[in-house]
Structure 1
């Protein structure tokens, strides 16, 4: 499964485990994915600075394969986290929720490769012009923070592939199996990012109740909350129902913000209350039916990818035979 993504970032397979707050804010999940040939990602978002340093050192001891660190640039102490990325020689930084200009030269001068997360064609072009080493393009199906304009992965990935052909492109949103990998690569992506699928693994560090909520969800069981503050895609629950009812009734922004702040991802992921928390998940949750290990899942994705390619090859032969 080699291509310019695997060559540039030194991994065996074009598979990236998304940096998910709480779910991959630990050593076990990214280490397992990297050891299986994908790109494991340590999520710095909710971590204290000292805990992050300890986890990064632990990850380095658990895998000799490349891995990445995801840093939301808006978070408090982002500069301190970036200092640790450099001090501990993390090989790859995945930056999200902020512009690349502030950090890029500093990171690249230390020979750290930089992948930037974007949710629009415009931001992809800006990141490409700034000189990032890769782009993660997230479509509307994705859990967490999808594009405000709600452009689907299918359309957005194709648009960015045409607009930024010289940068390795990683497609995220709605991808859960090998067939999704083939579809993304056909659109022009060089790799895929899977979030919700890796959240539902044994190594994921979210509460079991959260994982079970994902397993029981259908493809229509996610919704968007907080459109005025930056949309979040999450599983439908008591909190989302209360928020959306207030929004539909015309509540003003102050009231909506108050309701929005009553809940959190931590409440679902760490405290085990997915009904009142914000259990972020993509629409692909409806396609997930089990909790494998991350190693097992990565191997399965590769097998499914081969099967999907074989099916297309048979279709190609059939079409040629009919011409």
Structure 2
């Protein structure tokens, strides 16, 4: 029988965090239902203003902040007593504003990756009950974050997500040439990070395994290998409650194992995607003379010199249902999706 997961001041009934999927794949509806079922439901900040009533084509950052708060509120309408968290990429240009918007809206957990969230405790200083959770792929990254937080803010992470770049979806915190070599050992990293807190700080901090978790066997294996919980994202796409368009979900149902691969994002990070029709993404931006209107990332090759493609635009098109010229992030196990199910059914399978 699985044990509850303690993250800061919050006791999560089941040791499961729903992974953040940007540009409205995991918005208020999915996060709310996961929280209602007893996990940590996560609203992803990246690009959340793009397909919102707040965006008029010129006010992206305002729309981002307001839409983010609205989706967090939606999640709490579904799960008033649930644990609703957020995922805010450090690489976002409005990272600090989105963190502040999240705490104002009542997020209980803030998860940050795609960069090292060195200043996160400072941004949330007025809300000490909010649990802070960095995403890392190495012991070194965990050491750097923890040393900075402890020295500057007298605070430790409330949990750490260890993401496996060989299996996780979306943006990956590893160099392209190091992914898929077979050298990375996720659970050795999990154990190393756990030992970091025990040996240097004399405490236990929950370590969450992310990437490649699909079914009950994967969950039980992760827990047996030393993880205190798991983060799952791709598994929740093909649910009735997922915020993506039905065409997005259908692309998961139709993709094969061989259709999933790596691209280089204009954010300067590798990303794992469904590769079908990938060539059409760049073609869309060229044919439509698309210019950067959002400036959503701190660093972006498309914004700076027109290289590659507009990533938020491509993700937004896919979320709306244009899977021909849209980008679909996914984990390596997305091909296993074979039906539309419900969040509750997934929890029943995992923990029933």
Smaller-chain TM-score bracket: 0.7 to 0.9
Counterpart pick for 2:169 among 143, 146, 171 = 143
Aligned length: 292
Contact 1:265 1:278 in 2 (8 A): yes
- Measured after TM superposition, the shift of residue 23 of structure 1 is 4.4
Contact 2:99 2:123 in 1 (8 A): no
| Aligned mates of 1:90, 1:114 — CA distance in 2 | 11
Q: Which residue does the alignment assign to 2:291?
A: none
Matches within 5 A, 1:207-286: 207-226=245-264, 229-240=268-279, 258-261=307-310, 264-270=314-320, 272-286=321-335
Change (3 A) 1:8 1:181: farther
Are 2:118 and 1:101 aligned?
Answer: yes
- Measured after TM superposition, the shift of residue 216 of structure 1 is 1.6
Counterpart pick for 2:67 among 30, 51, 54 = 51
Counterpart pick for 1:132 among 157, 178, 182 = 157
Q: Which residue does the alignment assign to 1:21?
A: 22
| Aligned mates of 1:209, 1:164 — CA distance in 2 | 40
Q: Is there any run of 5+ residues in structure 1 with no aligned partner, and where? A: 244-252, 304-323
Q: Which residue does the alignment assign to 2:290?
A: none
| Aligned mates of 1:114, 1:31 — CA distance in 2 | 19
| Aligned mates of 2:40, 2:96 — CA distance in 1 | 24
Are 2:177 and 1:176 aligned?
Answer: no
Change (3 A) 1:285 1:161: same
Can you list the C-alpha shifts for 1:52-76, whole angstroms capped at 9, x where unaligned? 2222223223211212111112223
Change (3 A) 1:162 1:79: closer
- Measured after TM superposition, the shift of residue 8 of structure 1 is 5.5
Are 2:123 and 1:123 aligned?
Answer: no
Are 2:35 and 1:34 aligned?
Answer: yes
Matches within 5 A, 1:292-303: 292-303=341-352
Can you list the C-alpha shifts for 1:268-301, whole angstroms capped at 9, x where unaligned? 122x222322110111112221111112212212
| Aligned mates of 1:207, 1:89 — CA distance in 2 | 27
Q: Which residue does the alignment assign to 2:54?
A: none
Can you list the C-alpha shifts for 1:220-245, whole angstroms capped at 9, x where unaligned? 321101178210100021225998xx
Cα RMSD for the two superposed structures: 2.7
Q: Which residue does the alignment assign to 1:291?
A: 340
Contact 2:162 2:189 in 1 (8 A): no
| Aligned mates of 2:131, 2:280 — CA distance in 1 | 41
Can you list the C-alpha shifts for 1:107-141, whole angstroms capped at 9, x where unaligned? 25522110111223321222333321111111121
Change (3 A) 1:180 1:68: same
TM norm structure 1: 0.81
Q: Which residue does the alignment assign to 2:286?
A: none
Q: Which residue does the alignment assign to 1:321?
A: none
- Measured after TM superposition, the shift of residue 91 of structure 1 is 1.3
Moved more, 177-186 or 257-266: 257-266
- Measured after TM superposition, the shift of residue 95 of structure 1 is 1.4
Change (3 A) 1:10 1:162: same
Contact 2:28 2:73 in 1 (8 A): no
Contact 2:190 2:209 in 1 (8 A): no
Contact 1:6 1:13 in 2 (8 A): no
Contact 1:153 1:173 in 2 (8 A): no
Which SS does the other structure have where 1:189 is aligned? coil
| Aligned mates of 1:83, 1:103 — CA distance in 2 | 10
